[in-house]
Structure 1
Amino acid sequence: MKVGLKWKVAFAIITIIAIAGLFWKPVVDVPGTGEFLGEENIVGSDVAWILAAAGLVLLMTPGLSFFYGGMVGKKNVISTMLQSFIALGVISILWVVVGFSLSFGDSIGFSIDGEHYGLIGNPLTYPFFNHVGAFPHKEMASTIPFILFALFQMKFAVITPALITGSFAERVRFISYLLFMILFSLIIYTPLCHMVWHPEGLLNKYFGVKDFAGGTVVHMSAGFAALAGALVLGKRKNREHKPANIPFVLLGTGMLWFGWFGFNAGSALGANSTAALAFGTTTIASASAMMTWILFDRINGRSVSAMGACIGAVVGLVAITPACGFVTVPESLFIGFITSIVSNYLMNCKLLKKIDDTLDVFACHGMGGIMGMILTAIFAHGENASLLHGGFGVFGHHMAALLLVSVFTFFGSLVIYKLTDCIIHLRVSDRAEFEGLDISQHNESID
C-alpha cells in the first residue's frame, strides 16, 4: 500500500513531540508561593473522588463509540467507533502539549474599566504540563493536585470532537478527520473552555454564564460543529440503512450514563454535597427524558424502540449537564421531560431531515445543550441566580451568551471544515463510500 505524504508528515509530528517530551524539563513549583497552595491543603476524599470521576469520564468515549457504532450501517461500524476512540490518543497528547495552556493558562483578552476579560489562555503558561504538578491551585481546584484537575479536564476535551463524528459518519476520510479534530480543539474548544471555566474568562466573569459541567463548552460546541459538518460534507449517496447492532447502542448508553456521573458530579471538584446533588439530578433527568421520549414516540404513531429509549436517555443527560449542580431533583425531572420533547420533535421535523446529520447530533446534543443553557438560566438557585429567583439580568446575559456561542461555534466550525478540505479533501470517493469506510479506510470488517 502506497503511503501518502500526509501520513509521513503526521508521523514526523508525533516523533517531534515524543522527542521534545523526552528532553523537556518541567518546572517544579515551590508550594505555598505564587498561584499554588501547600500540600497540606489537599483533601484526600476529594482526590479519591476526582480520580474516580476522571476514570468515569474517560469511559464515556468508548461508550460513545458503541453508541454511535451500533447506529450506523454494517459497512461502517469499525470506522465510526474508531473515530470516537482515536480522540483518546490525539486530544490527550494535544492537551498536554498546548491544550491545557490554551484552556486554563493566563488570560489573553481585553480590559474594560480596569477589569480583565479573557478570550483564551496563554500557550506558554503550562506547555507540556509545565508547572502542572502535585500542589493545588489557589483558584482552580484548591483541594486537589493541579495535575489531577488538568487530567480531569482533559477527558472533557477528548469527548467533545468525538461527539461531532456522528454527523458526518459513513462519508469522511479518516486522516481529514484527524486534522479537523486538532483544529477544532485548538480554535473552538480551548477558547470556549477558557471563556466559560477560567476565573478570568469573558463568559464567566462578564456574562455570568452558569455551566456546571459542559452544556455550553461540550455539547453546544459539538452540536453546532456537527450541523456545520453535515452541511459541508453533504448527503450520503445512500441514506437508507438498518442500524448494525442495537445491543451496541444499549451498551454504549449504559456506559455513557455510568460515566456521566463522573462528568457531572465530578465537576463539583470535591466529595461534597454539590456532587451528591449533581449525581441525583443527573439520574432523574435522564430517566425522565428516556420515558418521555418513548411515550412521545408512541402517541405520534411511532414504535416504542430500544433506540428511542437510548437516545432519550442521552438527551436527558445532555440537558441537565449545565444545570446539574444548580437545580433540585424535581426541577431536573422537568428539564429532562421538556428537553426530550423538543429534541424529539426537532429530530423528526422535515426541515432537519433535509440535512444529512447521520446520527442527529445537532438535534440531540446541540439542542440539548441549548435547552440546558436556557433552563439553567430559568431555574438555577441562589440569590439572583436565574429568572425565577430575581435574576433578570442573569437570564439576559445567558441569552446573549447563547447567541454568541452559537455564532462562534457554527461559523468557526464552517471555516475549519473548509480549511481542512483545502489541505486534505474531507469526503471519501463514491467508490469508497459504496464499499464502506471499514474496508476502504481501515481494511477491516466486522464479518
Structure 2
Amino acid sequence: MDQGNTAFILIAAALVLLMTPGLAFFYGGLVKAKSVISMMMMSFGAMGLMGVLWVLYGYSIAFPTTAEGTTQFPWAIDPTNFSLAGVLETPEGAAYPPLAFVAFQATFAIITVALVSGAIADRAKFGAWMIFAGIWATVVYFPVASWVFNFGLADDASFAYGGWITHGMQDVFGVGAIDFAGGTAVHINAGAAALALALVLGKRVGFQKGAHVPHNPPFVLLGAGLLWFGWFGFNAGSELAADGTAALAFVNTIAAPAAALLAWLIVEKIKDGKPTSVGAASGAVAGLVAITPACAALTPFWAIVLGLLAGAVCALAIELKFKLGFDDSLDVVGIHLVGGLLGTLYLGIFANTSGLIYSGSFNQLIVQAIAAIAVLVYSFVLAFVIGFAIEKTIGFRVKNEDEIAGIDTVVHGEEGYVLSDARA
C-alpha cells in the first residue's frame, strides 16, 4: 500500500468536504437576510443525509464490484457492499485502502446534492427538501456516479469496473467520454435537477430583475474562496495519486477560474457599467465548474481559454431566467448546468490527443455530447417527477406570507442576525 497516495486521497476528501460549508456561505450571502439560515441549512442537511445514505447503500449502487471489464448499464446494486461490508479490508497489493476511495466519493455525493438547493432559495420547506434529496440521490446521483466514476480502479476484483459513460462507449466510438472530476455527474446533474425544481416550485413573490439582491457579499466572497480551495481536492484528488496528472489538474484549477473571474468582470463592466464582488465570485465558480471535467485533459493555455469562455458565457446565461420565465434563485442553471455543458463539450475539440484539433476526429465530441445529454435528461425528468410528487402531497413550497416575512423563523425558529435581544 502506498502511504503517500493514501494520505493524498484522504486530504483531498477533506478538502472536498469543506466545499459544502463553503457553498453554504456562497449561497447564504446571495439570499435575503431573513432566509440565510434556511439556505445554509439545506447544505448542512445534505451533509448529514448523504453521509449516512452513502455508507448504508450509496456506495454499493455507485461502485458495485464486478468482474474486470464489465460495464454497468444503467443500474447495478452490490449487496455485498451494503454498509460498506465488502470494503472494510484492504486487498493485498492495493495502492490504497478502498475506504479512502469511499470517503473521497462520499464528499462528491454531498456537494452535488447541496448544489441543487440554490435553485429553490427563499421558498422551500426544509423537510420537503430533505425528502427530495434522499430520493434524488438514490435514483439519480448514485447511478449516475456509477456511469461516470465507475471506470476501473485496480486489477484487484474488490474494486469496481464499468462506467458506460467514461469507459463503455469505447467499444463503439474508440474513445470514452472524458469527465475527470464530475462535469456530468456533478454539475450537469445538479444543474438539470435545479432547473426541474425551479419549475416545480414556481417563481418567488415579486420575481423580476433586480428585485432580489444579495444581502451579504462578503459571505459570497468567503464561500467562493472556500470553494476554490476545496476544488483542488475535487480536481487534483480525482487522479487518486500524487503524480504529474494531479499536478496538471491543480494548475488548471488555478488558471481556468482565474480567467473566468476576469471575463465575468469584463462582461459586467460592459453590460452594467460596474464590476461587482458577487460577479467576481460567480465568475471564479463558473470557471471551476467548466474546468472540472477537463482539468487533466487540457494544456494550461487551453484551460485559460476555457475559463475566459466560461466566465463570459455564464455571465450572459444567468439572464436567461428572466427571458424564459423560470426562477432559478441563485443561478445554478446559468453557472453549473451551462458551465458543465461548456466544459464537457469543449473537450470534444481541445482535449489532449483525442480532441478534434489533435485527432481530426469528431468521435470525442460525439461521446461528450452523448454523456452530457444522457445525464441532463435523466436528471431533469426524475427530479421533476420527484419534486412534483412532493409538492402535490406534503407540499414543497412555503406559504407566500411566510416567504415575504422570511422563512428562517417559520421553518427553523432562528434568525441569522440578532441585533438586539428582546429579553434584555
**Deviation by residue 1:28-60 (Cα, 9 ceiling, x = unmatched):** xxxxxxxxxxxxxx1111011111111100000
Could you say if the C-alpha distance between residues 338 and 105 of structure 1 is closer, same or farther in structure 2, counting changes exceeding 3 Å? same
Q: Does 2:189 align with 1:221?
A: yes
Alignment match, 1:424: 394
What number of residue pairs does the alignment pair up? 396
| Structure 1 unpaired stretches of 5+ | 1-41, 109-113
Alignment match, 1:386: 355
Q: Does 2:281 align with 1:280?
A: no
In the alignment, is the contact (CA less than 8 A) between 2:10 and 2:103 conserved in 1? no
Alignment match, 1:244: 215
Q: CA deviation at 1:352?
A: 4.6
| Structure 2 unpaired stretches of 5+ | 152-161, 170-175, 419-424
| SS of structure 1 residue aligned to 2:75 | strand
**Deviation by residue 1:423-444 (Cα, 9 ceiling, x = unmatched):** 4211111222122110110010
Q: Distance in 1 between matches of 2:223 and 2:16?
A: 13
Give TM-score, length-normalised by structure 2. Answer: 0.90
Of 125, 128, 134, the residue aligned with 1:176 is: 128
Q: Does 2:141 align with 1:189?
A: yes
Q: CA deviation at 1:300?
A: 1.8
Alignment match, 2:261: 290
Of 345, 352, 364, the residue aligned with 1:374 is: 345
Alignment match, 1:59: 18
In the alignment, is the contact (CA less than 8 A) between 1:137 and 1:145 conserved in 2? no
Q: Distance in 2 between matches of 1:263 and 1:424?
A: 36
Of 393, 396, 401, the residue aligned with 2:366 is: 396
**Deviation by residue 1:158-194 (Cα, 9 ceiling, x = unmatched):** 0111001110001111100000000110111011111
Could you say if the C-alpha distance between residues 184 and 56 of structure 1 is closer, same or farther in structure 2, counting changes exceeding 3 Å? same
Alignment match, 1:159: 111
Q: Does 2:31 align with 1:79?
A: no
1:280-429, aligned counterparts within 5 Å? 280-349=251-320, 352=323, 354-382=325-353, 385-390=354-359, 391-429=361-399
User: Which deviates more, 89-98 or 396-405?
Assistant: 396-405
Identity of aligned residues (%): 41
Q: Distance in 2 between matches of 1:364 and 1:71?
A: 14
Q: Does 2:178 align with 1:210?
A: yes
Alignment match, 1:439: 409
In the alignment, is the contact (CA less than 8 A) between 2:135 and 2:386 conserved in 1? yes
Q: Distance in 1 between matches of 2:238 and 2:58?
A: 19
Q: CA deviation at 1:107?
A: 6.0
Query: Could you tell me which amino acid in structure 1 is paired with residue 293 of structure 2?
Result: P
**Deviation by residue 1:343-383 (Cα, 9 ceiling, x = unmatched):** 1111124655621110111000000100010012221113x
**Deviation by residue 1:368-427 (Cα, 9 ceiling, x = unmatched):** 100010012221113xx2222224222212212222222111112111112222442111
Alignment match, 2:233: 262
Q: Does 2:102 align with 1:143?
A: no
**Deviation by residue 1:233-269 (Cα, 9 ceiling, x = unmatched):** 0001133233221110010011000000000000010
Query: Could you tell me which amino acid in structure 1 is paired with residue 193 of structure 2?
Result: A
Could you say if the C-alpha distance between residues 324 and 116 of structure 1 is closer, same or farther in structure 2, counting changes exceeding 3 Å? closer
Q: Distance in 2 between matches of 1:416 and 1:106?
A: 29
In the alignment, is the contact (CA less than 8 A) between 1:87 and 1:158 conserved in 2? yes
Alignment match, 1:129: 84
Query: Could you tell me which amino acid in structure 1 is paired with residue 264 of structure 2?
Result: W
Query: Could you tell me which amino acid in structure 2 is paired with residue 94 of structure 1?
Result: L
- Pairwise CA RMSD of aligned residues? 1.8
Q: Distance in 2 between matches of 1:413 and 1:281?
A: 32
Alignment match, 1:4: none
Of 52, 55, 64, the residue aligned with 1:105 is: 64
In the alignment, is the contact (CA less than 8 A) between 2:61 and 2:143 conserved in 1? yes
Q: CA deviation at 1:304?
A: 0.7
Could you say if the C-alpha distance between residues 398 and 136 of structure 1 is closer, same or farther in structure 2, counting changes exceeding 3 Å? farther
Alignment match, 1:45: 4
Query: Could you tell me which amino acid in structure 1 is paired with residue 394 of structure 2?
Result: I
Query: Could you tell me which amino acid in structure 2 is paired with residue 232 of structure 1?
Result: V
User: Which deviates more, 196-205 or 210-219?
Assistant: 196-205
| SS of structure 2 residue aligned to 1:121 | coil
| SS of structure 2 residue aligned to 1:130 | helix
In the alignment, is the contact (CA less than 8 A) between 1:106 and 1:121 conserved in 2? no
Query: Could you tell me which amino acid in structure 2 is paired with residue 100 of structure 1?
Result: Y
Query: Could you tell me which amino acid in structure 2 is paired with residue 338 of structure 1?
Result: L
Could you say if the C-alpha distance between residues 302 and 143 of structure 1 is closer, same or farther in structure 2, counting changes exceeding 3 Å? farther
User: Which deviates more, 129-138 or 356-365?
Assistant: 129-138
Could you say if the C-alpha distance between residues 184 and 290 of structure 1 is closer, same or farther in structure 2, counting changes exceeding 3 Å? same
Q: CA deviation at 1:121?
A: 3.0
| SS of structure 2 residue aligned to 1:251 | helix
In the alignment, is the contact (CA less than 8 A) between 1:53 and 1:261 conserved in 2? yes
Alignment match, 1:35: none
Q: Distance in 1 between matches of 2:80 and 2:204?
A: 43
In the alignment, is the contact (CA less than 8 A) between 2:72 and 2:146 conserved in 1? no
Q: Distance in 2 between matches of 1:134 and 1:272?
A: 25
Q: Distance in 2 between matches of 1:136 and 1:190?
A: 24
